[in-house]
Structure 1
Amino acid sequence: MLLFSSSVFAQQFYVRGEVKDEAGNVLQNVTILQHKTGYIFKTGSAGTFGILANQQIDTFSFSLDGYDKERVVVNADNYIRVKMKLQPASVSSAKRDKLSSQIKGLGKEEQKIWMTGDETYASLLENHFVNAKKFPSTGMSLNVDRASYSNIRRFITLKSMVPPDAVRIEEMLNYFNLNYHQPDPGKIFKIKTTLSSCPWNPDNQLFYIDFSSQKLDLDTLPPSNLVFLIDVSGSMDMTNRLPLLKSAFRLLVNNLRDKDSVAIVVYGGITGVMLNTTSGKEKEKILKTIDELEPGGSTPGESGVRLAYSVARNHYINGGNNRVILATDGDFNVGMKTEAELDELISRQRESGIYLTCLGVGMGNYKDSKIQTLAERGNGNFAYLDNFKEAEKVLLKEFTQTLYAVADDVYLNVNFNPEYVKEYRLIGFDNKVGALRDSLAIIEGGEIGSGHSMIAMFEIIPTEINRGAIKDNFTTGKFADLNLRYRLPGNKVENSCSYVSNFEFISSEELDKCYHFSAAVSMFGSLLRSSTFIRNTDWNDIIVLGESATTGNNLLQKEFINLVQQAKTLYLTKPKKKKGNQDD
């Protein structure tokens, strides 16, 4: 598989090869650093690579989380075979992939059976049905990330087919902030569950879990210590990159209070502090610094990260909102550092109580997005800005959701009652293939912001008792136990709250519109991923269901319908690429 950098190489030599582990398994998404140029490449789904070079003899470094780094001198006349050694558990455990969801008792070896043929082109492996009697308990990491939806919108708007692994259904649902209910006084969360029919499979059911977080009062929020870490490298010299970010940060600055403070750190041709920590009341000074930013040079991201965290630590506010806001196009070149080393750096900073928000702009396929990984490691969140309207949504309308956490390490466990549930399938929260292959991968909770609501969904294969209870209008008994675990910001004590979901089936006709709309969003994501679980669904089914669930003048929901219509036209007129020829 041939991978291209955005730069133009003199087409003199062609370096080809493959990367495998010691057992002979192909390794995809390996980071390849070309020493002569400093350019970064990735191996494809078959573990292969092809790189244009301007000299016959060159040096390359190969790195992947959990493996020893390999440095190889290559001759372009030869086919290169690289073998990577797995690191000892004591060395690599801190850098392991993080799971998005986990089924208690179900071994990763059993889940590997899901990886069949070419269906694992995507780095995300779709969750399958699980026997509730054998494995009744499953858990998921909750967060406010919603980058996937705006990135999908960009692909479709540009009339490009969406890479399957760019589709994360839980983030698509997060985007709409559906069905918010203020928690009871003194409570951080409110949980509501609903069981109804499944629109794409009438024999099955959908189990909706609706979470809402406490809405903080902006006037009483503690002061913020913010560090804007802005990529001003040459790759940012496009209208939808640095100029868009400058407009976005202007919106954020206008929301600051006098007791808040901002510093601006940049990395590009230079890495430095462009604005020392400044009070939020000096808006003109802050805005002038933002307006003067100009792109140019390479992308020394690692030094930028270190400097930004150093500035944040030097002005740390006890009990305040301490946060680095990284804004980049994803061309996050860290020189000689591997992704694993950068991840470890961010993980260490996480312990200091400094959050990390990542804003992506102008990227291509970010299935291996380094900044998304950084947000996860940095106990933060990730948004993708494809236009000014999205910047306004993330940094103005959803200001407190984006920048103020009400809980950290939020994790939900669901324990199903096998009397009513024969099998279940978690929709979204798909795990990376690499995490499932990693015997030491762990699940960690995420950050939840102020006033956020999200809907998680399970597809249920009901038992005969379940079907009979609905037929006889019998609505007693426990359907599932829910346990939500979390920490308050700046507090290491784990809290938990429990919720019992009783068996109560609601017909499709009686179901709130927000759940119909959630189902439509889920169907859209599944169709973009060519999911085998909705084979009988087409674009018109999504449009009909979505239109029936759209409420009033909700512009986001109307935009969704328009996006599905655009996708229908795109996917029905463009021939699908043959498997094996798709770019990773």
Structure 2
Amino acid sequence: MPWYRCAIMLHYLQHIGKCVLLCLLLCPAVSHAQSFYFTGGFKDSTGTLIPFVNIKLRSNQLLYQAGSGGEFGISAFVSTDTATCYAEGFDTTQIVLMHGKYQQVVLRYNATMLQKAKLESRLSSLSMAPQQKQHVTEIATGNGESYNEIVPNHFTNTSAFPSVGFVPNNNHASYSNIRRFIAHSTQVPPNAVRIEELWNYFNLQLPQAQPGDSSMGMASALSVCPWNANHLLLMLNVVAPKIPVENLPPANMVFLIDNSGSMEENNRLPLLKNGFKKLVEHLRPQDRVAIVTYGGSPGIMLPPISGQYKDSIRAAIDALIAGGATAGSNGIQLAYELATTNALDSGVNKVILATDGDFNMGITEDEALERLIKAYRHTGVTLSCLGVGMGNYKDSKIEVLAKMGNGNFAYLDTEEEAQKVMVQELTENLYHVAADASIHVYFDSSVMQQYKLVGYDNRKQALANNTLLLNGANIGSGQTIVAMLEIVPKGNASIQTPLQGSWELQYKCLLRDSVQIAHNVPFTAVPMALPLADTAFKKATTLAWYGQLLRQATPQQPVSFTDVMTLAAQCFAAENKSDAGFLQLLQQTQQVYNPAPIQQRWRKKRKTK
């Protein structure tokens, strides 16, 4: 029996009579009766071996896994058994296993995998050279932090690839992480800047993007590009319907909290404890919460308990103390097992991992961690991640965990950010209205010469890793998605020539029994001058420009942050808290990247006295 199942069982034994303990003690005697052995292997319809297929036996309900060569061998209590077999991208299959008979199993690709294969072919229009695929690496910053390397998108010829597809990103960890660097008067590592996550932070919405009760709002806008007057910017905007509070289903949550020795500082475990206690205030009696920790070794700090017992939950959070090694993988296993054991059939089942990402015990390799999480994807339990800390913060690891777990990823740098993520945005982060979402854009090549995605550079990583590529995105209640494309008109087309084409949002609507929807919206638009554009468009443009400058990825000569600040003043309102925060961030960024000469700063100080 796996250790994490033992941990859960032993915890519940504390609340059960001695007779159950006696039964458990008798289990070893039963184990001597294991004289049967099941063997077999997995292939797809082409005869290609399928590694790491999950196998669940009916007789003992335990989970096993085939090896990297696609084969398995399982000791059993019985000579014949039924097994459920599943792997990412394949139909779940039931087979009969017999002692002494090698079972060759052929798994069929499921409909979702075939649909995603179409997305893969469209993503190839990002035109990544073969040698660039090897650039997908983890980059250390020199201070112990690590980030996935970003390979910027390049312009693609519309004549060769008149369509492009990509998976939306619903995280916003990058914005608050950038703010942390600037607050410490430190330049931001280029690979820490994910432009799409800057848009996500501000929940931008074009006026035309009005969602229905169960349908997505979709709108587009076109204007002149401020960093290249000969180019255009096309903004795509998706707005999800908001589930009324009274209709929110119950939630089954496991708080998986890293309380290892590296979490002792105030901006780590103490910050998380305050954030989780704020979340607890908004729990309902129908919600369930459990707490798993993994400082040194994983353990159940609090068994599943109703949200009405807020004092007990807060007391368990207050009792957390930092110490020990970081056995993150073991904690993840235990949290998933606890969440699946107590899963709600008609509710939300989620593990919330809070960590600095510095795993140094148990499974620490990224690929092995990905396989660990993939093994639980079929259960419907999602994994969201909260990153904290600085110095040994592993953004690269936490980002991948959230992607593989079909969850969100946020970075907490202040108490205010914890309030925003864990209270104000709780509904959109916890309750999804769409799954497996992807966006596809179709252009008229007669008036367009080239295009490139602004942001979404990490989709290049998807080309080097089919697992990341083929995972569509979840979209939360009331959440907004923004994408922008920089467009080069054809030589015979003026900047005022109407842009023609369409874009499509494909997703499973969770408000309609997961029915598959493909919503196609045509666009024919003449670009407007940027000062006349909608506020949401100007905000998105400002944030994209800011992000490109931070990454030093602008195609033209370097542009001062002063121009970005001028555009920001036209659309970010000083009376709005989030807007005012960005305006202040811009001022601080200018000081970090373009510090005034010492003599000028001295004169400025003299004036203020």
TM-score bracket for the superposition, by shorter chain length = 0.7 to 0.9
Q: 1:549 to 1:103 in 2, by over 3 A?
A: farther
C-alpha deviations, 1:338-393, integer Å up to 9, x for none?
Answer: 32121111112121101111001104475752121010000111000001000111
Q: 1:271 to 1:398 in 2, by over 3 A?
A: same
Q: 1:133 to 1:432 in 2, by over 3 A?
A: closer
| Code of the aligned partner of 1:138 | V
Contact 1:94 1:344 in 2 (8 A): no
Deviation of residue 141 (structure 1)?
A: 0.9
Deviation of residue 412 (structure 1)?
A: 0.5
Counterparts in 2 of 1:372-391, with a 5 A limit? 372-391=399-418
Q: 1:198 to 1:116 in 2, by over 3 A?
A: farther
Deviation of residue 434 (structure 1)?
A: 5.5
- Structure 2 CA distance for aligned equivalents of residues 105 and 327 of structure 1: 32
Aligned to 1:416: 443
Q: 1:255 to 1:261 in 2, by over 3 A?
A: same
Contact 2:133 2:461 in 1 (8 A): no
Counterparts in 2 of 1:104-253, with a 5 A limit? 104=122, 106=124, 110-112=128-130, 123-179=149-205, 183-253=210-280
Instruction: Tell me which moved more, 554-563 or 320-329.
Output: 554-563
Q: 1:436 to 1:140 in 2, by over 3 A?
A: closer
Contact 1:248 1:395 in 2 (8 A): yes
| Code of the aligned partner of 1:479 | Q
Aligned to 1:454: 481
Contact 1:193 1:209 in 2 (8 A): yes
Counterparts in 2 of 1:64-143, with a 5 A limit? 104=122, 106=124, 110-112=128-130, 123-143=149-169
Specify which of 554, 558, 561 is matched with residue 576 of structure 2: 554
- Structure 1 CA distance for aligned equivalents of residues 264 and 199 of structure 2: 32
Aligned to 1:535: 557
**Aligned Cα RMSD in Å?**
3.3
Deviation of residue 196 (structure 1)?
A: 0.7
Question: When you count helix as a share of all residues, which structure comes out higher?
Answer: 2
Aligned to 2:547: 525
Q: 1:89 to 1:146 in 2, by over 3 A?
A: farther
- Structure 1 CA distance for aligned equivalents of residues 126 and 491 of structure 2: 30
SS at match of 2:221: strand
- Structure 1 CA distance for aligned equivalents of residues 387 and 596 of structure 2: 28
Counterparts in 2 of 1:21-40, with a 5 A limit? none
Specify which of 278, 282, 292 is matched with residue 255 of structure 1: 282
C-alpha deviations, 1:520-579, integer Å up to 9, x for none?
Answer: 11111101111042434211011111111113612212211221221121122499xxxx
Q: 1:446 to 1:363 in 2, by over 3 A?
A: farther
Deviation of residue 507 (structure 1)?
A: 2.2
Q: 1:234 to 1:483 in 2, by over 3 A?
A: same
Q: 1:135 to 1:195 in 2, by over 3 A?
A: same
- Structure 2 CA distance for aligned equivalents of residues 307 and 439 of structure 1: 27
Instruction: Tell me which moved more, 163-172 or 483-492.
Output: 483-492
| Code of the aligned partner of 1:111 | A
Contact 1:124 1:432 in 2 (8 A): no
C-alpha deviations, 1:300-355, integer Å up to 9, x for none?
Answer: 11111111111111111112011000001111234255321211111121211011
Specify which of 405, 419, 422 is matched with residue 432 of structure 2: 405
SS at match of 1:356: strand
1:484 aligns with 2:505: yes
Contact 1:180 1:452 in 2 (8 A): no
Q: Percent identity?
A: 39
- Structure 1 CA distance for aligned equivalents of residues 71 and 540 of structure 2: 42
Deviation of residue 461 (structure 1)?
A: 0.6
Aligned to 2:525: 503
| Code of the aligned partner of 1:504 | V
C-alpha deviations, 1:420-475, integer Å up to 9, x for none?
Answer: 221101001113766545588734211111111132111111124541754xxxx5
Deviation of residue 151 (structure 1)?
A: 0.4
Unaligned runs of 5+ in 1: 1-66, 68-86, 576-584
| Code of the aligned partner of 1:146 | H
- Structure 1 CA distance for aligned equivalents of residues 481 and 390 of structure 2: 26
| Code of the aligned partner of 2:500 | F
| Code of the aligned partner of 1:139 | G
Aligned length: 482
Contact 1:166 1:367 in 2 (8 A): no
Instruction: Tell me which moved more, 439-448 or 299-308.
Output: 439-448
1:272 aligns with 2:290: no
C-alpha deviations, 1:128-166, integer Å up to 9, x for none?
Answer: 111111111111111320000000110111111111110
| Code of the aligned partner of 1:307 | L
C-alpha deviations, 1:64-108, integer Å up to 9, x for none?
Answer: xxx9xxxxxxxxxxxxxxxxxxx88999x979xx99x96727478
Instruction: Tell me which moved more, 493-502 or 429-438.
Output: 429-438
- Structure 2 CA distance for aligned equivalents of residues 107 and 511 of structure 1: 29
Contact 2:459 2:469 in 1 (8 A): no
- Structure 2 CA distance for aligned equivalents of residues 367 and 430 of structure 1: 19
- Structure 1 CA distance for aligned equivalents of residues 288 and 302 of structure 2: 11
Aligned to 2:587: 565
- Structure 2 CA distance for aligned equivalents of residues 346 and 539 of structure 1: 41
- Structure 1 CA distance for aligned equivalents of residues 128 and 319 of structure 2: 55
Contact 1:427 1:458 in 2 (8 A): yes
C-alpha deviations, 1:225-283, integer Å up to 9, x for none?
Answer: 01100001011100000000001001111111111111111111331111111111111
Deviation of residue 404 (structure 1)?
A: 1.0
Unaligned runs of 5+ in 2: 1-50, 52-67, 73-86, 90-115, 140-147, 598-609
Q: 1:333 to 1:104 in 2, by over 3 A?
A: same
| Code of the aligned partner of 1:558 | A
SS at match of 1:257: coil
Which one has the largest radius of gyration?
2
SS at match of 2:346: coil
Contact 2:126 2:153 in 1 (8 A): no
- Structure 2 CA distance for aligned equivalents of residues 246 and 105 of structure 1: 41
SS at match of 1:447: strand
- Structure 2 CA distance for aligned equivalents of residues 480 and 355 of structure 1: 36
- Structure 2 CA distance for aligned equivalents of residues 261 and 489 of structure 1: 21
Aligned to 1:11: none
Contact 1:159 1:570 in 2 (8 A): yes
SS at match of 1:533: coil
Aligned to 1:286: 313
State the TM-score, normalized to the length of structure 2. Answer: 0.73
Q: 1:572 to 1:469 in 2, by over 3 A?
A: closer
Deviation of residue 518 (structure 1)?
A: 1.2
| Code of the aligned partner of 1:130 | T
